[in-house]
Amino acid sequence: MAFLGSRARRAALALLAGTALAGLLGTTATAAPPTGKPDRVLAVTDVWMRDVATDVGLQPHTGSPIWASPDVKICPTAVECATSANAIVGMTNHIFVKLRNPGPYGSGIDSGALRFYRTTPGGSMAWPMGWLPVAAVSVVVAPGVTTVSVPWGGVPGPGHFSLLAVWESPNDPLPFLTADILTNVRNNNNIAWRDLNSINPFTGGPPGSGPASD
């Protein structure tokens, strides 16, 4: 009888241990990041910019050309132009960005910083070492589309280079960052990329340069 009692106690303990393990595994599975949203688990708000005209903010984004965001434009004056223009060396240009709210991973009014970075004409595009800060501005983004305008002097060139617009907010983090800028833009809807040509106002652009991509 003592032997049977010991066996019963062991069976009961095993059952309890199995139940506890199953509960732990269930909790772990529930807390796992949603499929397809590895970099938006901590997001409360979701401010974003389009990579292409048909972009709706989903990540990762596979549209092309990803380096010609329609939400980032360079204009020669403080009045927004219809399409992005070549940047002019030696003059104050203006960067226009459209911030969209909400995206598919959060909602609500958000405040943060819109930062701009550029490469050196003909230089590296590796993040972050190949990118130089251009400007930064604090912005409150309400639901809808908020247009931000930033004056930009010190345009490099003449030459061909790239410009990034990056939305930073504690409510809308950027944890998915690698050395490859293409991967970063595709996997973060709050980064937008525009390739640019800069021109000399007196002699024009560098040999073989064409208009900036619209």
**pLDDT value, residue 68:** 97
Mean pLDDT for the chain?
82
| Residue 209 pLDDT grade (very low, low, confident, very high; cuts 50, 70, 90) | very low
Whether 181 maps to a domain, the answer reads: yes
Backbone angles phi, psi at 22, to 5 degrees: -60, -40
Domain assignment of residue 54, yes or no: no
> Would 67 be classed as within a structural domain?
no
Which token pair is 4?
């049977």
Q: Are residues 83 and 189 in the same domain?
A: yes
Q: How many domains does the chain have?
A: 2
The tokens describing 92, both together, are: 């104050």
Question: Can you give the pTM of this predicted structure?
Answer: 0.78
pLDDT digits (tens, 9 = 90+) for 23-75: 322 322 222 333 334 445 668 999 999 999 999 999 999 999 999 999 999 99
Q: What is the average pLDDT across 128-150?
A: 97
Establish how many alpha carbons lie within 13 A of residue 37's alpha carbon, considering only the half-sphere containing its beta carbon.
16
What range defines the domain where residue 99 resides?
72-199
CB 108 within 8 A of CB 44: yes
CATH code at 135? 2.60.40.1520
- Assigned domain for 41 exists: no
Based on the fold, state whether residues 104 and 24 are members of the same structural domain.
no
Please indicate, yes or no, if residue 170 is contained in any of the structural domains: yes
96 forms beta bridges with 73, 149
Residues 126 and 189 occupy one common structural domain: yes
Instruction: Tell whether the torsion through CA atoms of 99, 104, 107 and 113 is positive or negative.
Output: negative
